Structure 1
Amino acid sequence: MAGASLLMLLDDIAAILDDVAAMSKIAARKTAGVLGDDLALNAQQVSGVASERELPVVWAVAKGSFMNKLILVPAALLISAFMPWAITPLLMFGGLFLCFEGFEKIYHSYVHRKDKKSEISEKEIIQKSEQDIKAFEKKKVKGAIRTDFVLSAEIIAISLGVVAQSSLLSQFLTLSVIAIIMTVGVYGLVAGIVKIDDLGLYLTQRKGEGPLVAVWHKIGFGLLTSAPYLMKGLTIVGTIAMFMVGGGILTHGIHAISAQITNIALLVSDIAYLGGLLAALTPSLLNAIFGVIAGAIAVMTMTAITKLRS
Structure 2
Amino acid sequence: MPTGLVALLDDVSVIARAASASIDDVGAGVAKAGSKAAGVVIDDAAVTPGYVTGFTPDRELPMIWRITKGSIFNKLVILLPIALVLSAFLPQAITPILMAGGLFLSFEGAEKVIEKLSGTKHGETLEDEIKDPVAFEKARTKGAIRTDLILSAEIMAIALSEVSDEGLVTRAITLAIVGLVITFCVYGAVALIVKMDDVGLHLARKPSEMAQAVGRFLLKAMPIVLKVLSFVGMLAMLWVGGGIILHGLEELGLPAPAHFAHGVEHAVAQASGALGGVTGWVSYAVVSALLGLVLGTIIALALHMFARDEGGETAH
User: Any unmatched runs of 5+ in structure 2?
Assistant: 1-6, 250-254, 312-316
Residues 190-238 of structure 1, C-alpha deviations (whole Å, 9 max, x = no match): 111110011011111223xxxxx21111001111111111111111010
Aligned partner of 2:129 in structure 1 is 125
Gaps of 5+ in 1: 208-212
Letter in 2 for 1:250: I
Counterpart in 2 of 1:83? 90
Alignment of 1:59-208 (within 5 A): 59-70=65-76, 71-111=78-118, 113=119, 122=126, 124-125=128-129, 132-207=132-207
Q: Is the deviation greater in 176-185 or in 2-11? A: 2-11
Cα distance in 2 for partners of 1:272, 1:18 equals 40
Aligned counterpart in structure 2 of residue 20 of structure 1, from 18, 26, 35: 26
CA deviation after TM superposition for structure 1 residue 12, in Å: 1.3
CA offset at residue 120 of structure 1? 7.3
Shift of 1:177: 0.6
Distance (whole Å) between structure 2 residues aligned to residue 286 and residue 232 of structure 1: 23
Match of 2:15 among 5, 9, 12: 9
Structure 1 residues 169 and 230, CA, compared in 2 at 3 Å: closer, same or farther?
Answer: same
Q: Is the 8 Å Cα contact of residues 69 and 179 (structure 1) preserved in structure 2?
A: yes
Shift in Å, 1:272: 5.9
The Cα of 1:275 is off from its aligned counterpart by 7.2
Answer yes or no: is the 8 Å Cα contact 1:125–1:133 preserved in 2: no
Once the two structures are superposed, what CA deviation does each residue of 1:40-68 show, in whole Å capped at 9, x if it has no partner? 01122222221110000000100100110
Whether 2:36 is the aligned partner of 1:30: answer yes
Alpha carbons of structure 1 residues 93 and 121: separation in structure 2 relative to 1, 3 Å = closer
What residue is the counterpart of 2:4 in the other structure? none
- Confirm or deny that 1:244 pairs with 2:239: yes
Following superposition, the deviation at residue 7 of structure 1 comes to: 2.4
Check conservation: 2:272, 2:279, Cα contact below 8 A: no
* Poorly superposed stretches of 4+, deviation over 6 Å: none
With normalisation by structure 2, the TM-score equals 0.89
Instruction: State the partner residue of 1:210.
Output: none
2:223 is aligned with 1:228: yes
CA offsets per residue over residues 81-112 of structure 1, 9 Å max, x none? 1111111100000000001011112223444x
Q: Give yes or no for the alignment of 1:264 onto 2:271.
A: no
Report the RMSD for the aligned CA atoms in angstroms: 2.0
Q: Once the 2 structures are TM-superposed, how far is the Cα of residue 119 of structure 1 from its aligned partner? A: 10
Is the 1:38–1:186 Cα contact (8 Å) retained in structure 2?
yes
Question: Structure 1 residues 262-271 or 223-232, which shifts more?
Answer: 262-271
Q: Distance in 1 between matches of 2:50 and 2:192?
A: 13
* Corresponding letter in the other structure for 2:80: V
Q: 1:225/1:267 Cα in 2 relative to 1: closer, same or farther (>3 Å)?
A: closer
1:158 aligned counterpart, secondary structure: helix
Structure 1 CA distance for aligned equivalents of residues 70 and 197 of structure 2: 25
Take 2:297 and 2:31, find their aligned partners in 1: how far apart are those partners? 37
For residues 83 and 307 of structure 1, what CA distance do their matches in structure 2 show?
39
Superposed displacement of residue 121, structure 1: 5.6
Residue type at the aligned position of 2:212: H
Whether the aligned pair in 2 keeps the contact of 1:268 and 1:275 (CA below 8 Å) is no
Kindly indicate whether the alpha-carbon contact (under 8 Å) linking 1:125 and 1:136 is maintained by their aligned counterparts in 2.
no
C-alpha separation between the residues in 2 aligned to 1:43 and 1:152? Answer: 16
Q: Distance in 2 between matches of 1:217 and 1:234?
A: 25
Percent identity at matched positions? 39
Q: What's 1:308 paired with?
A: 309
The 8 Å contact of residues 79 and 87 in structure 1, kept in 2 or not, is answered as yes
